[in-house]
Amino acid sequence: MKLPNTPFFSVFKPGYLAFVAFGLFLDLLTKYIIITKMYAHESIPVLGDFFRLSLTFNTGFVFGLFQDNALPSLFATGFAIIFLIFYRWQNSDLGNVWGWNFVMAGAFGNFIDKFFVKIPGTGFRFGFTPDKPGIEYIGVVDFLDFEWPDFLLFDRWPAFNVADSCVSIGIVILLFTMDWKELDKK
């Protein structure tokens, strides 16, 4: 694999890396607070039934699809991060930089979360296998739970977290700022 000619830190400037680090910190902090304050599958109404804090664990992929695939999900996320770094480095003029920063913050947040066993009401520990199933959990912590019209695919929107929000915001920014004609020329 050939590295891009553009210097790494001219694309991934320190301020951008600091933003990614802040997004990662905010994601992991909110997950830690939820893990220590709630029990597994507990729901706390915030705005009635429309918005709840609900502690769930996603051991699958996007939208909770293919549950109980924690290890393949870990490898897929790691591969996606490496791909995104090199793609962004190679195509530094493609899309708004803040879109990329949001996507990277979210990707790193969920990736790091997959390295820990969660112990609701207590905290977490490094590992990939719960010693006490039903008391300890693996997977990404999701807790933002919104009602969704039940005629649109889901009864409720799948619970998500700050990292998921960052990825979604970043993708929307990139979709609106990418010059798709330029992409076709490459």
Q: Indicate which residues carry an active-site annotation.
A: 142, 164
Tokens of 178: 């990418």
The candidate with the shortest Cα–Cα distance to 92, out of 9, 169, 175, 25, is: 9
Give residue 48's region: left, alpha or beta (phi > 0; psi -120 to 50).
Answer: left
Tokens of 17: 């890396």
| Strand, helix or coil for residue 2 | coil
C-alpha pair distances (Å), 47 with each of 51, 120, 130: 5, 23, 33
DSSP 133-163: BTTBB-SEEEEEEEB--TTSS-SBPPPB-HH
